[in-house]
Structure 1
Amino acid sequence: MSELRLVPAALVVWGASLAGIVWGGWVSLATVAVVLSVVALAREAGQVVLVGGLGSVAAAVTAVRLATSRAWEFGTQLVGSVSGEPKEIDGGGFLIRLSIPGHPGQVPAFVPSIPDGVEPGSTVRVVGSAAEATRPGTTQMVLNGEVEVVAPPTGMAAWSNHVKDVFAQSVAQTVGERSQGLIPGMVLGDTSLQSAAEEQAYIDTGLSHLSAVSGSNVAIVTAAATVFASAVGLGLRGRIAVAAAALTVFATLVGPEPSVLRASVTGLVGLTAVLSSSVAEPVHALCLAVIGLVLVNSNLAVNYGFALSVAATAGIVALSPVLRRAFAPTGWPDILVRALAVAIAADVVTMPIVALMAGQVSLVSVVANVLVAPAAAPVTVLGLFAVILALLPGGLEKPVLWVIEPMTEWIHTVAAVGAGLPVSTVGGSPLVVVVCYGWVLAGFLLGRPRVTIAAVVTVVTVVAAGGSGARWQTPIDTSRLNAHVVARESEVEPVPAHSQVVVVMEEGAAHDRPVITQGGIPVLYPRRDGRVTLYPDGTQRAASGRF
């Protein structure tokens, strides 16, 4: 089991950081002690030193960052640089994240509007009030106020914004509506041209990873560079050098955002899998990536995106070879077997996390990912060529975009059709998802791939037929919403820009119908109507049954 020797160290670093952020320093140290005790039972002195040392460092680093954040003085204004694209939130307003020199985490700021010039890398000033953060992390406060631009982006950030603007403009002028939002997203992670309906369709079908800078993007780019280097006769060192150069170009075009760093590191694990001849090297690379990234940024320990990336990479590295062998008796084409193995491996390990995060899972994600797999890599690779050509005069990128367009139209069609099915997503807890996927995985590993697939298709078809009259919906977890809590109904207005739900603690007679603000934000009266359940389409249901 030497190929797993770095796994305990990665787990203790992740676990100690997560425990420290969520429960505090003593729980963090207890987590280190538990993992250390388990390792000590194996009587591996080297492992005891490695796990104990890295676990203690992770716990100490997390504690220092939390202490620094708690001691930070938040006044009525804060100046920092914008990290990532501003995001529009439900109920009105925008969320921007600020990087503050000396602060151990990005500070969220909720603002009612975004003036011109607020873009990644720009320096802004937020004037308003601070409130305690509700999400776990090293950042203890959030801001609510107005934003103004202090200085435009400079350096790499300015260059990246220029690249994205030029490419988005060219795409909008060259291809049809169904491809306009997807091409910049798949190539540069720029979703500014995507509509809300398109974004939701990609989420419902498990294709949202295509329109974000992820490890899969980096793996595709570096793998393509490696294949090219092999084709021209370069050795291992030459292939690594060409792949590193391709990764540098990709990171330069996309921009110096934290998500790009995470994607680059996890993508390098995929490159390791391509260049190596065994599973051991990718497992080592993934563990080193987890250890390094979490020590650099403790917030990744409680970041769902990071957990999904790591889980997907681990699933593909560890499970996909086993699943390929399980599909061998079917006699299906190798390209189909590989696509199925990768899609199922990634789905099995990520769906419990998705269920924990969103309370629902996609029933069509495996099929959707298999259907779009032949198009995903060409769009990413050719898209990067189109980006480079778009920076040159003469419209040289347009023929490349014309070649890409049918592929992205196909991906858009798969997402639209899949999301339109009666039960593209269903509610489910992590435990239910683990049990269901466990049976599916067992069927494959026991050498019954045809029977397993037939059973899954039958179950999905029956469920879809039963839900054909209306789309199933999972209630919204109101504890995750930004709540505006007031004592009396007269204090509801004005509603802060970042609020997603209003809670009125006043007592009185129960309502006969749901209450919303003029801006469409749900207003809940727990002491009058009892528990009210919210649904994604805006529907409300009171426990009393009055509405």
Structure 2
Amino acid sequence: MTGRNDGSDAATVLDARLVPCALAAWAVTLLGLYTGWRIVIVVAVAAVVGCSVTVRLVATGRIPRGGARILLAALAVVAGFGPAAGLRMWAADQHPIASAAEKGSWAGVVLLPTDDPRHIRAAAFDDTPRVRIPARLEHVTVGGRSMDTGGSVVVLAPADSWGDLLPGQSVTARVRAAPHTGPGTTVAVLHAENAPMVVGPPPVWQRWAGTVRDRLAQVGSAVLPADRAGLLPGLVVGDTTALTDEVREDFRVAGLTHLTAVSGANVSIVLGAVLLLVRAVGLGPRSGTILAATALVAFVVVVRPSASVVRAAAMGSIGLLAFVTGRERQALPALCTAVGVLLVLLPDLAVDVGFALSVSATAALIVAAPPVMTRLVDRGWPRPIAEVAAMSLVAFVATAPLVAAVSGTVSVVSVAANVLVAPVLAPLTVLGSLVAVGASVVPWVGEVLARGTGPFLWWLITVADRAASLPSAELEVPDGPVGAVVAAVLVAVAWSVARHRRVRITALVIAVAVAAVWLPVRMLRPGWPGAEWVLVACDVGQGDALVLATGDGRAVVVDTGPEPEPVDRCLRRLRIRRIALLVVSHLHADHAGGIRGVLTGRSVEMVVVGPGAAGDDAAGVLDAATGVGVVVREVGAGATLRAGDLDIRVLGPAGRRTGGSENDNSLVLAVDTVVGRVLLPGDAEEAALDALVRSGTDVRADVLKVPHHGSRTTPARFLTAVRPSVALVSAGRDNLFGHPHPEIVSTLTGIGARVLRTDLHGDVAVLRAASGALAVVSDVRGTIEP
């Protein structure tokens, strides 16, 4: 199986025979990670049978030998990779800490971090800054049993005591185990509340890597403005800790985020610079290979082996081997080999979005970039510009569907932005690497070199800012498979329009016709969720943000989610400019962190908080309100509020609780609306909810916002007492806390509630149907229940 690439003067034949094998390896590994070891073993056995049948058909001449060879190779890969993935999944299922995680048990562990701690912006439990650390277990003590063991885990821990750990640094800690809900071989999520005890120092090379990263950040901060200083480590070593929110958002909208996720481009530039140096000093191939391999290993250690970096390192290793043996390097077989090897060693890469984006972009650059570049040159484009434009275009086409599936957006300005920044990437990467090396040896040398990166960084930030500021710089599409299909169709249509004159004329006629029909309809008909909406649960990730219509053009907002952007986007979709009340159920980051997204550009009449909350605003959340002149009022059980058509009663708490969970200080609201009663209990847990039921308070409601994102801390007797028709769960997709818990969902469906989840359904609206009855509409799946 071959394909012809006309992208060079002498046509080059691409050897694509390994492509089916790589795809088969990826597919069967995905199957194992998502379905478990039993099904993948069955598939592997079926592949063995398929091999036997294929051999027999070839022997009898019923199928040609050429195609049979490729089919046999793919089936053999499935037969081999299936048991490998199944064995990993079986080991994860049988791990001693997995059963403890199902029970939420405490355990003593000895573990080794495998990557740097990453700050997580919102915690589900408290406002303590926390970090996420991937780690490998060394020893476990649980349920009176103590054993040496392996296994991958994720640790969620306080940042102040865990944030400075280095990869490979052995620590012991007492943790609470929880199930890992996503696909993969991770055996548990470990929640740590106390500082770890350091058992041993990190390896020498990890200490050196940590010094390089720290010195790079320090010299950048010393001589560069904050926006450029935060961007420099991101571009050189993938450290985005100091990246400002403004730059981060601009890069996202402009389609430049990949620049801060060190990938194959960085590896190629660094290896290219080393090989140029080797040739300049006249070293032979073997000596040059040793130096390049050393640089490759050092680079991977410093930037940490993320999915894209590991893939690029594998590609680089294969290229070095070809360089030593004198064979012609074939990029596509090298990529396929790299994918297969990495999936054997690290099967979790099969579900890593960054890995998929990296492989997709690389394949596009190998297969499609040369002929596109040739076409542009034939049309009169200067060759350097044609090369950059071709690479940016094919990478965008290859990755846009996957990006849309994950983020629900397609950047319209991505290709242009990448073309504009391309000329500075190579010199900036080389200079940034020299800054890192120089700063780790002589800091003042690093500072001198860091000043030289200033103009390049300024250009990147300026391009991102201008691109992100353009109207309709990104298109919103449904996330998931629907978004991927929409993005693929948009890309295909744009590609056809650009290539064919007749298609351009046809597209113009269709566009005019659609506009003639669609614009009047759009002007006369309200958009999602319709004019009669009463309540919207906004999809803000792992947090809460709910909007209730007052009937007079205003709204009541209950909680704001962890970040300003998602709640602001939700309110803009609902065309909310005036807010009668902003209720903050409690001051945890996942409920109050996005408050500026509500306040900015809108009039807010009052902010309402629970008893004692205003005096316990350690994070300064409410300062944002008072800073713009908004009154903050404390309320407790028995208080009543009115906003337009809404009657709001505060059911709890009567006063500030001490000694228990801070979640139990959440305001519990009962709101009477035109479609019935809505109960909003914040993150209240078992103690508060039990007390509410025992007090005789009427908690029955038509619509329930499920407490604490569907955590198992909600007692079944509370859900039974409420007995809602509709239950709304606000949770982040693939969140680390396992929300909502299956037992909670099962209890709700058992009492007849329709469960709607923002992680699955996006923004969810409760509205009054034409009949006057309650209806539920998802912006992802449409009307769910009339």
The TM-score with structure 2 as length reference comes to: 0.58
Is the 2:537–2:765 contact (alpha carbons within 8 Å) kept by the matching residues of 1? no
Greater shift in the superposed pair: 345-354 or 70-79: 70-79
Partner of 1:372: 421
Judging changes above 3 Å, is the alpha-carbon distance between structure 1 residues 280 and 382 closer, same or farther for their aligned structure 2 residues? Answer: closer
Q: Aligned ranges for residues 150-169 of structure 1 at < 5 Å?
A: 150-151=197-198, 152-169=201-218
The C-alpha deviation readout for 1:281-316, integer Å capped at 9, x for no partner, is 000100110110000111111111111111111011
DSSP 3-state at the match of 2:115: coil
Is the counterpart of residue 431 in structure 1 residue 444 in structure 2? no
Partner of 1:421: 470
For the aligned residue pairs, the C-alpha RMSD in angstroms reads 4.6
The C-alpha deviation readout for 1:247-266, integer Å capped at 9, x for no partner, is 23423443566764334224
Q: Which has the higher strand share?
A: 2
Bigger RCO of structures 1 and 2 (CA < 8 A, at least 6 apart)? 1
Is the counterpart of residue 57 in structure 1 residue 80 in structure 2? yes
Shift of 1:186: 1.0
Is the counterpart of residue 100 in structure 1 residue 100 in structure 2? no
Judging changes above 3 Å, is the alpha-carbon distance between structure 1 residues 28 and 509 closer, same or farther for their aligned structure 2 residues? Answer: closer
Q: Aligned ranges for residues 3-402 of structure 1 at < 5 Å?
A: 3-24=15-36, 25-27=38-40, 29-30=42-43, 33=47, 43-44=65-66, 46-47=69-70, 49-74=72-97, 76-77=106-107, 78-92=109-123, 93-101=130-138, 106-115=152-161, 117-151=164-198, 152-232=201-281, 240-255=289-304, 260-267=309-316, 281-393=330-442, 395-402=444-451
Judging changes above 3 Å, is the alpha-carbon distance between structure 1 residues 395 and 57 closer, same or farther for their aligned structure 2 residues? Answer: same
Greater shift in the superposed pair: 37-46 or 257-266: 37-46
Greater shift in the superposed pair: 232-241 or 349-358: 232-241
Judging changes above 3 Å, is the alpha-carbon distance between structure 1 residues 87 and 47 closer, same or farther for their aligned structure 2 residues? Answer: same
Shift of 1:407: 0.3
Distance 1:477 1:38 in 2: 53
Distance 1:327 1:278 in 2: 31
Judging changes above 3 Å, is the alpha-carbon distance between structure 1 residues 178 and 481 closer, same or farther for their aligned structure 2 residues? Answer: closer
Partner of 1:492: 683
Greater shift in the superposed pair: 428-437 or 274-283: 274-283
DSSP 3-state at the match of 1:5: coil
Shift of 1:381: 0.7
Distance 1:410 1:145 in 2: 42
Shift of 1:142: 1.8
Distance 1:335 1:476 in 2: 49
Greater shift in the superposed pair: 341-350 or 103-112: 103-112
Is the 1:4–1:280 contact (alpha carbons within 8 Å) kept by the matching residues of 2? no
Shift of 1:56: 1.7
Give the unaligned 5+ runs of structure 2. Answer: 3-14, 101-105, 124-129, 139-147, 478-482, 529-535, 545-589, 591-662, 665-678, 687-706, 732-736, 769-773, 777-786
Is the 1:79–1:125 contact (alpha carbons within 8 Å) kept by the matching residues of 2? yes
DSSP 3-state at the match of 1:133: coil
Partner of 2:766: 543
Judging changes above 3 Å, is the alpha-carbon distance between structure 1 residues 411 and 394 closer, same or farther for their aligned structure 2 residues? Answer: closer
Letter in 2 for 1:430: A
Greater shift in the superposed pair: 431-440 or 338-347: 431-440
DSSP 3-state at the match of 1:179: helix
The TM-score with structure 1 as length reference comes to: 0.80
DSSP 3-state at the match of 2:134: strand
Computing the radius of gyration over CA atoms, which structure comes out larger, 1 or 2? Answer: 2
DSSP 3-state at the match of 2:236: helix
Shift of 1:321: 0.4
The C-alpha deviation readout for 1:130-149, integer Å capped at 9, x for no partner, is 22222111124322332533
Distance 2:275 2:486 in 1: 41
The C-alpha deviation readout for 1:410-465, integer Å capped at 9, x for no partner, is 1112222222334332223111111121233345565999x79x99xx99xx9xxx
Letter in 1 for 2:95: W
Distance 1:362 1:307 in 2: 18
DSSP 3-state at the match of 1:366: helix
Judging changes above 3 Å, is the alpha-carbon distance between structure 1 residues 385 and 55 closer, same or farther for their aligned structure 2 residues? Answer: same
Judging changes above 3 Å, is the alpha-carbon distance between structure 1 residues 119 and 241 closer, same or farther for their aligned structure 2 residues? Answer: closer
DSSP 3-state at the match of 1:396: helix
The C-alpha deviation readout for 1:17-44, integer Å capped at 9, x for no partner, is 1111112342564377399689985534
Distance 1:352 1:213 in 2: 21
The C-alpha deviation readout for 1:95-124, integer Å capped at 9, x for no partner, is 221122486753122235441533433333
Judging changes above 3 Å, is the alpha-carbon distance between structure 1 residues 448 and 540 closer, same or farther for their aligned structure 2 residues? Answer: closer
DSSP 3-state at the match of 2:133: strand
Is the 1:530–1:542 contact (alpha carbons within 8 Å) kept by the matching residues of 2? no
Is the 1:14–1:301 contact (alpha carbons within 8 Å) kept by the matching residues of 2? yes
Judging changes above 3 Å, is the alpha-carbon distance between structure 1 residues 533 and 249 closer, same or farther for their aligned structure 2 residues? Answer: closer
Is the 1:21–1:138 contact (alpha carbons within 8 Å) kept by the matching residues of 2? yes
Distance 2:406 2:94 in 1: 30
The C-alpha deviation readout for 1:38-87, integer Å capped at 9, x for no partner, is 99855346545533333222111111111111111125233212222323
Letter in 1 for 2:195: E
Residue-pair matches, total: 523
Shift of 1:323: 0.8
Judging changes above 3 Å, is the alpha-carbon distance between structure 1 residues 108 and 431 closer, same or farther for their aligned structure 2 residues? Answer: same
Distance 1:16 1:210 in 2: 31
Is the 2:111–2:137 contact (alpha carbons within 8 Å) kept by the matching residues of 1? yes
The C-alpha deviation readout for 1:197-234, integer Å capped at 9, x for no partner, is 32232222221121122111101111222334445556
Distance 1:509 1:224 in 2: 65
The C-alpha deviation readout for 1:255-281, integer Å capped at 9, x for no partner, is 566764334224557889999999970
Partner of 1:440: 494
The C-alpha deviation readout for 1:497-532, integer Å capped at 9, x for no partner, is xx9945775636899x9999xxxx999999899747
Q: Which has the higher helix share?
A: 1
Judging changes above 3 Å, is the alpha-carbon distance between structure 1 residues 154 and 237 closer, same or farther for their aligned structure 2 residues? Answer: closer
Distance 1:309 1:223 in 2: 19
Judging changes above 3 Å, is the alpha-carbon distance between structure 1 residues 235 and 279 closer, same or farther for their aligned structure 2 residues? Answer: closer
Judging changes above 3 Å, is the alpha-carbon distance between structure 1 residues 335 and 235 closer, same or farther for their aligned structure 2 residues? Answer: farther
Give the unaligned 5+ runs of structure 1. Answer: none
Distance 2:318 2:176 in 1: 42
The C-alpha deviation readout for 1:376-434, integer Å capped at 9, x for no partner, is 11111111111111122361122221111110111112222222334332223111111
Partner of 2:604: none
Is the 2:729–2:758 contact (alpha carbons within 8 Å) kept by the matching residues of 1? no
Is the 1:131–1:143 contact (alpha carbons within 8 Å) kept by the matching residues of 2? yes
Percent of aligned pairs sharing the same letter: 29
DSSP 3-state at the match of 2:445: coil
The C-alpha deviation readout for 1:300-340, integer Å capped at 9, x for no partner, is 11111111111111011111001102212331221111111
Partner of 2:595: none
